[in-house]
Amino acid sequence: GNSVTQMEGPVTLSEEAFLTINCTYTATGYPSLFWYVQYPGEGLQLLLKATKADDKGSNKGFEATYRKETTSFHLEKGSVQVSDSAVYFCAPKEAAGNKLTFGGGTRVLVKP
Amino acid sequence: KAGVTQTPRYLIKTRGQQVTLSCSPISGHRSVSWYQQTPGQGLQFLFEYFSETQRNKGNFPGRFSGRQFSNSRSEMNVSTLELGDSALYLCASSWGQGNTGELFFGEGSRLTVL
């Protein structure tokens, strides 16, 4: 099955700082890759996804590129806002079915 | 378009009891998955249902079970509750079973076992 290694948090940043959250995975077959975000008191929301090698997913200023050669899917944002404070989860999805394997989550706290 | 609806949102049970949680997927979605979220173990896959059939199952004991109805609504049941079953149980729905489709999550049912 799949497994995910995600950098541990918490990550504390000042507003407008650059954010990178590393994610590497092991998978059989050819998974799709997802980043989900969980804001305080809310459920999981899809942030972005990439379905094949070299695809770049992007949303709300966040980006991540599917790197098959390094089995990585690092999340980046050039200028974070206080509203980006949340827990971020990297998750590959198996080639068949809908099973997501989640990383441990990275808590990000952005201070004004 | 209504999102994924989970009921109840909060519940408290005692050890040895059983609990049933309900999930109504987004209209038209045929796949429902369940996940358990705890501070110690993170998000773990429980099972997935598609067209009333269990398609995949995680590494949980047999006390955890589920089913899906013809209208795609799903329930999960935990029998003989243990303290360690205290968690946020998340349901996710998806249109089909293709690997590129995203999962839409509900807000969860928070179970506390005393």
- The most distant pair of C-alpha atoms in chain B lies apart, rounded to whole Å, by 40
pLDDT values of chain A reduced to their tens digit, one per residue, 112 residues: 788 999 888 999 999 999 999 999 998 778 899 999 999 888 899 999 999 999 999 999 999 999 999 999 999 999 999 999 999 999 998 877 788 999 899 999 999 9
Residue pairs spanning A and B at CB distance below 8 A: 66
Please state whether beta strands A11-14 and A56-59 pair in parallel, antiparallel, or not at all (unpaired): unpaired
**Beta strands B109-113 and B10-13: pairing type?**
parallel
Question: Contact, B26 vs B43, CB < 8 A?
Answer: no
| Contact: B105, A101; criterion CB under 8 Å | no
- Going by their DSSP bridges, the two strands B87-94 and B64-68 should be labelled as unpaired
Residues of B in contact with A45 (CB under 8 A): 105
CA distance B103 to chain A (A): 8
With contact defined as beta carbons under 8 Å apart, do B114 and B13 qualify? yes
Amino acid B100: pLDDT: 66
